[in-house]
Structures are given as C-alpha cells and as structure tokens.
Amino acid sequence: MRKKFFGCLMVLLFATVAFAEWKVDFKEKYTKDGIDQAVVDAMKEGALPVEIVETGLQLEGLNPQNLVKALYCAGANGQDITGAAQKYNISEIIVAAGYKKAIEECGKQVADSQAYTPVATGGRTSFGGAPTPAAGGAFASPNTF
C-alpha cells in the first residue's frame, strides 16, 4: 500500500513541476520573442487564460491590452479571456481594445468573433418608450387566438 501511495505522490509531484514550468518559459519567451509567442507557447503547454493573465500581469512593462490581444490571437475563448480580465481587474475598455487590435492584426485566427456583441439588458431606458420583453412587457396583443 505504501508503495502505491508513494508512486502516486511521485507522479503528482513530477506532473506539477512539469506543468508549472511554462511560467518560467513564459517570462523568457516574453523577453526574447514577445508576448504573442509567449502566450502561444503557454497555451500549447496547457496553461489556461486566467493563469496566463495572472502571470502576464507580473511582467514589467507589459501593457494588459497587448496581453488580451495575444490571448485572442492564440485562439483563447472570449469568455475565458473576459472572465480572467474581470478576476484581475482589467477594465472592459482595455479588453475591448485588445480584442479590436487582435481582429486587426490576426484576423481569422481570433477564435471568438462575437466576443463583444453587446448584450441587450432589456427594460426601459431613460428615453422612455414601450417596455421590452426582457422587462416584462409584451408586444403581442392580449387577445391571441
């Protein structure tokens, strides 16, 4: 029983060390090849966008907008990127600018082309008008047959 436990512990230890190695490589890649290549390589090694954002924000001189752009260009999911940005207090303006820059520079490589489609919240606006269905109003006549 002890041999099995020790074996499992060793596998877990080596897997953790190998997985955490991308963080060391990330900084070296950023310094040598730039943020775009560093993000691509980190994602190939299995790093999640939230981990990349956390590590990237610790790099001196890195603009968060360029980090967001690199994530989109590397094919990260838009929801994962916005979730990571919210967790680390990157403003929506910076995320939107990074997305726009990714579209301009990477075009079709960007995985989530609908990342910044505004979501209609419904309800009345300050301009008045009829309520929307999201606010509980209905557009159909109450006399439906």
Domain boundaries, the chain: 22-114
How far is Cα 96 from Cα 58, in angstroms, rounded to an integer?
21
Task: Identify the pLDDT of residue 33.
Answer: 93
Q: Which secondary structure element, helix H or strand E, spans residue 82, and what is its range?
A: helix 78-87
CA distances from 131 to 106, 123, 127 (A): 40, 6, 11
Mean model confidence pLDDT for the chain = 77
What confidence tens digit (pLDDT) does each residue in 84-93 have?
Answer: 999 999 999 9
Residue 107's pLDDT band (boundaries 50, 70, 90)? confident
Task: Identify the pLDDT of residue 21.
Answer: 82
Task: Identify the pLDDT of residue 86.
Answer: 96
Residue 111's pLDDT band (boundaries 50, 70, 90)? low
How far is Cα 69 from Cα 75, in angstroms, rounded to an integer?
10
Instruction: Name which of 126, 84, 78 is nearest 99 in CA terms.
Output: 78
Q: Is the pLDDT of residue 119 over 70?
A: no
Q: Is 40 left (phi over 0), alpha (psi -120 to 50) or beta?
A: alpha
Per-residue pLDDT, averaged over 13-25, amounts to 63
Q: Is the pLDDT of residue 18 over 50?
A: no
Task: Identify the pLDDT of residue 24.
Answer: 87
Residue 142's pLDDT band (boundaries 50, 70, 90)? low
How far is Cα 145 from Cα 19, in angstroms, rounded to an integer?
62
How far is Cα 53 from Cα 39, in angstroms, rounded to an integer?
10
Considering only CA atoms, give the Rg of the chain.
22
What confidence tens digit (pLDDT) does each residue in 21-60 have?
Answer: 888 889 999 999 999 999 999 999 999 999 999 999 999 8
pTM (2 decimals)?
0.65
Instruction: Name which of 28, 58, 54, 52 is nearest 39 in CA terms.
Output: 52
Q: What is the DSSP letter of 123?
A: S
Helix 64-73 to helix 35-44 angle (10° resolution) is 50
